Chain A
Amino acid sequence: MEFMNPGAFKANAREALTDENLRSAMGQLAAGFVPLRQAAVDRLPEFDLLRERARELKDHILANLDFYLERFERNCTAAGGQVHWCATAEDARQAVLAICRTVDAKTATKGKSMIAEEIGLNPFLENHGIEPVETDLGEYIIQLADEPPSHIIGPAVHKTKDQVSDLFLHHHRKHGRTERQTEPAKMVAEAREILRQRYLDADVGITGANYLIAETGSSVIVTNEGNGDLTQTLPKIHIVVTSLEKVVPTLEDMTTFLRLLARSATGQEFSAYTTISTGPRRPDDPDGPGEFHVVILDNGRSAMLGGEVQDMLRCIRCGACMNHCPVYHSVGGHSYGAVYVGPMGAVLTPSLLGIAETRHLPCASMLCGRCEEVCPMQIPLPRLLRHWRERAFEGDGVPAAERWGLSIWAWFARRPWLYGQGARLAVRLLRYLGRERGRLGKLWGAGGWTDGRDLPAPEGRTFQELWRQRRGKGGAA
């Protein structure tokens, strides 16, 4: 598996399709999150109306992004925080390093942050003598495994329990643990004890932000573990690494997004901890960090405004699109060779990095439309995927390897048990076919899509089982 190379999608996916551990982990993912989300949505009759409102609100924010960012900066500064504007990933890494150096930091605890992943913060800090310690259990597991996240909210969702047992046994030896734990409760307790000391020892705590509130100059994190709160409360310095589009005007506006986030992500009514942080510890505060820094990253986002892919900036990183994506289920997150995976990643990665290196990603889709149906922000993911496909195939002819894009789709098309899930999928597929046939014909020659066969047929058994199981549980269609 080539982790951070979107060009390796094809080889990665081929490898992933024969990985039984991955198959079993992905099976659990679909069997878990899909029905849980549906149940949460069913319990809130206003869910679809909220999606409408959230979309309108986010479009308003994006159209006035400069204004709200200025207001955020003004109010954050007034509360004693410091804002650092970073056009590129390198700028952001340097900004974080400079802050760490002011306290001669040796270790930095980290809450889960996709922006930190995007800028490659961990290897950078390591190279500069600062040990990053991931505290979200999923991030901690993949840090031990030396792998990137495979899901935006469940970074270690590809790991089976046995694999985690082995990792803990191997890495916890140096903390005096020699027993291989196999019960999740004991494994969690062991990690909790080891990480607790790391929070207390850390010089700097780094978190992401789900939102920045213009009205108050606050950053907001949403977690279930409480790790982000310990990360940002105990050390001397709290650094928030985040990006431009996270700003919202008011507490009320944040609330609208919060009503969608947990329900879409995990099917919870609300995540366990939503924390609004404003500035450093006050003179009479008994705890909290002495400094509060907000590092705001652009890294290609400003260029997405006003154009065809602006809609992608509405994303609230809930992960619903990947939880419902048959391609993601079958190839897993690592195949994408990028920080952002699944349908949202297949759109966002080319938007941020350019289509040249990433042209395989928008093809890793069968355009079945499930992602758009479940996206709480009503992002037209299939349209955006098609947009990038078209860009990928523009210009000087199509390299033969590009057939891949079609063949993965054809692979699904040849598997009726997958489409047996609902006529809706097939209807969409046919509609897509009808609409796109001219284009496809031009690109690959007539009938090209039916004989693209460069995918080894994997053992379909487990995959079928998964879908049958899902149905048996009365899961979402």
Chain B
Amino acid sequence: MARRGDPGREAIFAAIRQSLGRPAHSAEARRELDDHIGKHRANLIPQRGKGDGKELVDRFRAMAEAAACTVRTVAAEAEVPGAVADYLRENNLSTRITLAPDSWLSGLDWASQPMLETRGGPARNEDEVAVTPAFAAVAETGTLVALSGPDHPTTLNFMPASHVVALRASQVVGAYEEVWQQLRKATKKGRGFAMPRAVNMITGPSRTADIALTIQLGAHGPRDLHIVLIDDQAGQE
């Protein structure tokens, strides 16, 4: 609780100001600093975070693969259920999948794949495969961004041993900063914005090097992360 008058709190702020050799900020100084926050300017975006359509999608794919993801491109969203089924079959994975209860994702024609058994909701410990959407993806490092909420339980990203993400190529941006801008817009509330409880930036499957510095995938989260990339950018180049 933010307890004004909390003696511990007051002592810490007093100690900070004493060490810095100044009193609390003046109203004007506060305005300036609030301005720094309000403008939320990017500091420095590396060149590789810049580019256009196809170039960024190609870079995203290469970076994601370098982070041990597998990526398959499909021409249209209608092909997603088939691509998921193929992936599970080719890798001998369970065909029981837990779908994020996202209207776009669950609206795809899953019945077209009779071998798949689907359910929705947050992850249960026994779930082996999660299929989720993403909010955005970042070319810079091959990073997926997922937002928690009723349509995307966070546990789906971490509990099942396999994670399949259905991503539209048009969701790929160059740099992280573009995601923050989109996030502010998508969750706009009054003069500010409402952060979802969890924003997950995901770059490849779970891994550890804690045993003799050898990299092992699937430490606690997914052992494999597969991205079905929907090429919805035709004609945009």
Given the known inter-chain contacts A252-B41, A275-B200, please indicate yes or no for A269 contacting B63, CB distance below 8 A: yes
Which residues in B have their C-beta under 8 angstroms from that of A57?
43
Q: How many residues of B contact A (CB 8 A)?
A: 82
A46 to B50, CA, bound (A): 13
- Interface set, chain B 107-153, CB cutoff 8 A to A: 121-123, 125, 140-143, 148-150, 153
Contact A278 B195 (CB under 8 A): yes
Q: Which of A233, A249, A255, A296 contacts B158 (CB 8 A)?
A: A233
A187 to B210, CA, bound (A): 11
Contact B2 A77 (CB under 8 A): yes
- Interface set, chain B 28-43, CB cutoff 8 A to A: 29-30, 33-34, 36-37, 40-43
Q: How large is the interface on A (under 10, 10 to 19, 20 to 34, 35 or more residues)?
A: 35 or more
**A-contacting 9-mer, from B7-15, B71-79, B84-92:** B7-15
Contact code string A173-207 (vs B, CB < 8 Å = 1, else 0): 00000000000110111001001100010000000
- Interface set, chain A 214-266, CB cutoff 8 A to B: 214-218, 224-227, 229-230, 233-234, 244, 249-253, 255-256, 258-259, 266
Contact B19 A303 (CB under 8 A): yes
Q: Verify if A389 is at the interface (C-beta below 8 Å from B).
A: no
A82 to B18, CA, bound (A): 26
Q: Verify if A304 is at the interface (C-beta below 8 Å from B).
A: yes
Which residues in A have their C-beta under 8 angstroms from that of B2?
73-74, 76-77, 82-83
Given the known inter-chain contacts A53-B43, A255-B180, A272-B207, please indicate yes or no for A188 contacting B16, CB distance below 8 A: no
Contact A230 B12 (CB under 8 A): no
Q: Verify if A396 is at the interface (C-beta below 8 Å from B).
A: no
Determine which residue in B8, B12, B34 has the highest number of CB atoms from chain A within 10 A of its CB, and name it: B12
Which residues in B have their C-beta under 8 angstroms from that of A192?
218-220
A302 smallest CB distance to B (angstroms): 4
Contact code string A147-176 (vs B, CB < 8 Å = 1, else 0): 000000011110111001000000000000
B13 smallest CB distance to A (angstroms): 5
Residue in A closest to B222 when the chains form the complex, CB atoms:
A226
**B-contacting 9-mer, from A282-290, A354-362, A435-443:** A282-290
Which residues in A have their C-beta under 8 angstroms from that of B207?
224-225, 272
Contact code string B203-220 (vs A, CB < 8 Å = 1, else 0): 111111111111010111
A66 to B26, CA, bound (A): 12
Contact B20 A184 (CB under 8 A): no
Contact A185 B216 (CB under 8 A): yes
A189 to B148, CA, bound (A): 27
Q: Verify if B176 is at the interface (C-beta below 8 Å from A).
A: yes
Q: Verify if A131 is at the interface (C-beta below 8 Å from B).
A: no
Residue in B closest to A168 when the chains form the complex, CB atoms:
B211
A70 to B200, CA, bound (A): 25
Contact B19 A188 (CB under 8 A): no
A65 to B19, CA, bound (A): 11
Given the known inter-chain contacts A282-B197, A285-B197, please indicate yes or no for A266 contacting B44, CB distance below 8 A: no
A272 to B143, CA, bound (A): 8
Which residues in A have their C-beta under 8 angstroms from that of B155?
233-234, 287
Contact code string A268-305 (vs B, CB < 8 Å = 1, else 0): 11111111111111101111100000001010001111
- Interface set, chain A 3-50, CB cutoff 8 A to B: 25, 28-29, 32, 44-46, 49-50
A45 to B189, CA, bound (A): 38
Residue in B closest to A57 when the chains form the complex, CB atoms:
B43
Contact A184 B211 (CB under 8 A): yes
Q: Verify if A86 is at the interface (C-beta below 8 Å from B).
A: yes
A-B contacts, CB under 8 A, total: 271
Q: Verify if B221 is at the interface (C-beta below 8 Å from A).
A: yes
Residue in B closest to A296 when the chains form the complex, CB atoms:
B12
Q: Which of B13, B148, B150, B202 contacts A66 (CB 8 A)?
A: B13
Q: Which of A50, A138, A296, A302 contacts B15 (CB 8 A)?
A: A302
Given the known inter-chain contacts A137-B211, A250-B37, please indicate yes or no for A226 contacting B201, CB distance below 8 A: no
A374 to B199, CA, bound (A): 30
Q: Verify if B67 is at the interface (C-beta below 8 Å from A).
A: yes
A306 to B218, CA, bound (A): 44
A196 to B13, CA, bound (A): 40
B198 smallest CB distance to A (angstroms): 6
Which residues in B have their C-beta under 8 angstroms from that of A234?
155
Which residues in B have their C-beta under 8 angstroms from that of A185?
216
Which residues in B have their C-beta under 8 angstroms from that of A306?
19-21
Residue in B closest to A282 when the chains form the complex, CB atoms:
B197
Q: Verify if A467 is at the interface (C-beta below 8 Å from B).
A: no
Contact A233 B209 (CB under 8 A): no
Q: Verify if B154 is at the interface (C-beta below 8 Å from A).
A: yes
Given the known inter-chain contacts A53-B43, A271-B203, A273-B200, please indicate yes or no for A298 contacting B33, CB distance below 8 A: no
Contact B202 A273 (CB under 8 A): yes
Contact B197 A281 (CB under 8 A): yes
Contact A298 B15 (CB under 8 A): yes
A160 to B211, CA, bound (A): 7
Contact A251 B40 (CB under 8 A): yes
Q: Which of A50, A215, A272, A288 contacts B44 (CB 8 A)?
A: A50
Given the known inter-chain contacts A65-B20, A259-B46, A288-B154, please indicate yes or no for A184 contacting B212, CB distance below 8 A: yes
B143 smallest CB distance to A (angstroms): 6
A59 to B19, CA, bound (A): 14
A378 to B82, CA, bound (A): 51
- List, sorted by A's number, 24 A–B pairs whose CB atoms are closer than 8 Å: A66-B24, A67-B25, A79-B195, A86-B8, A157-B213, A161-B212, A184-B211, A185-B216, A195-B220, A224-B206, A224-B208, A226-B221, A226-B222, A229-B158, A252-B177, A255-B176, A256-B43, A256-B44, A258-B176, A275-B199, A280-B197, A298-B15, A306-B21, A307-B19
Q: Which 3 A-B pairs have the closest CB atoms?
A: A226-B221, A225-B219, A138-B210
Residues of A in contact with B (beta carbons under 8 Å apart)? 25, 28-29, 32, 44-46, 49-50, 53-54, 57, 63-71, 73-74, 76-77, 79, 82-87, 91, 135-138, 141, 154-157, 159-161, 164, 184-185, 187-189, 192, 195-196, 200, 214-218, 224-227, 229-230, 233-234, 244, 249-253, 255-256, 258-259, 266, 268-282, 284-288, 296, 298, 302-307
Apart from A83-B1, A280-B197, what 7 extra A-B contacts exist at CB < 8 Å? A71-B37, A224-B209, A224-B219, A251-B183, A252-B43, A272-B221, A285-B150
